[in-house]
A and B are shown apart, each in its own frame.
Chain A
């Protein structure tokens, strides 16, 4: 397995091998699914849409609906105006969504299609029914990563829809980041305990985690409603989780509607969750209920109980930058040693922020933005680690190097339940500890000499 990967490191300037990222449009599609009644629309060749829907479906194991402009050679030469206009007419006639959220692809970006002009023309021609919303974002695949595409869609949604009436509401905006529906539910549960009324954008809970009851609705109950998105401009504050996925949208809202923004990291792990809870406390001027402190104490109790199994363990982490940053912080909280820290998404902020987190930890890590899993594997070959944390694409490295893999982030394609259990909040932190400790102990139990195979540990 991965027999072509050798320990010797060579400089690569052109060849990406085993990426730790994918392209912008899939992130935009995912973000758009977090708007209630929204049909994401991919303006480009139909293969993009097919690939994105397939991959999102493999991760969420739920229907993922999206439409495409189905470019052919003619549209590539003459532009996508006709295709997008036809698409809009068909989408509203057949599927009748409240919102169509268009994102571009590398093809339509290179052609230079002017989406707002096409939307306006379609409206003028009556292809967009009265009262229906059409928004768009530009997601050139040759810039950034899927996280950038996610951020662009959230930012554009706010740009198109958020309004300030001048009457501030008692609601707090939360831009939660590129999270699973279970994470969104957990954040909402925490906000419920804190007694804070909120608007989350995007909110894929109730969209990509629906049950099986014999019915199918193309636009399920979940998702942030257009009405709520509009009123985000009147909320008293915004908390944005994640520099790469969420901060741009909060900045947009701050500039557009003067809603004060708090820039946080993902509420993953102890410190991440503490900061989130504390920020909500400060912005909403509330006292923290005992129930939250009890949850927190249970996590601390677990950290204390299992500290011996995690302390000093070395870790390779790869994935999306906001996830990796938050996870690195949590590993430091657990006195573990993050050793190789990689994101495929470009952005110098990543390396700077990781360096800050590791400053006093004594961890001498190799950190890389715009990196890939091939190189991380080479580092591991040179000097191994105790654990790998990342998405499914790390499973080959884990197997060939005999290192347990903790599946974390997007996408997880080979296990069915990760999407259902949050990694955010104190609850999510407990689950992460559970997975890490069990993986290490399972390995020990499987491999240790018999005299060291113990009943109690």
Chain B
């Protein structure tokens, strides 16, 4: 396994990236509509995982209310579409902006909180959003039934009732997401997140504006979750306050933590375990929560860094002495 991985790393990255994209394009073709929808859903949660990963993985902050931003994005798209007749694809920027704005407003006053306190506030925010939606805010959010009759995207005159087109739309955004997230990770901002995660005191002393950097993580992560919410609304056409329920946030959090905090392939693995497998084994639905609990407990005992962790997070969790980088030749 190790050998295979090292050999894969030596292949030109562009080649296997294009290979993976080609695979993703061809994968749904031989499958039926149900499985295409499962693939679509998987992709959606990968995007949610990646957006949450900016907050949890890169900046090292707690966020257990991520589903709230997903719901906010969906409701923004739905409201614009239903009341103002804006075509769904044009509502996407608005969804991003609204979710990002709420991300900013909510986290700005609580950023100085650490660990568990931050966690509690984010849970509370998720619940607030759900309850506000249930209570039919301004009489436009449709209460507990949510909103229905949202237009599907209209593009190229295709029949958008077919899941396959939604899958390809999702795929385009997924590729964009991975590209952006990857670039962010290896940038000045990505390093600043790393510094904050590693040692906030030292980061601040080195001139990193920790408040700003953490806020940016929240704003970017929330905004992107808003986009995913709008994509969801465009396929399902019915949305309800359940999108913001606590269990959704927990699932997103588990995707990141079980898959491997801070790692992009880890998010794929996590989504496979948390979304795709339970979906494929629908007959065993009653066992789903038990499976989640079992997976969590086993993972936390055996592999706290996740299934496919980023190198750094593994170091942080396991102690660096164990896994060391190759030593450079020393002169003395």
Q: Say whether A and B bind each other.
A: no
Q: Tell me the B residues contacting A by CB distance below 8 Å.
A: none
Residues of chain A having any CB pair with chain B under 8 Å: none
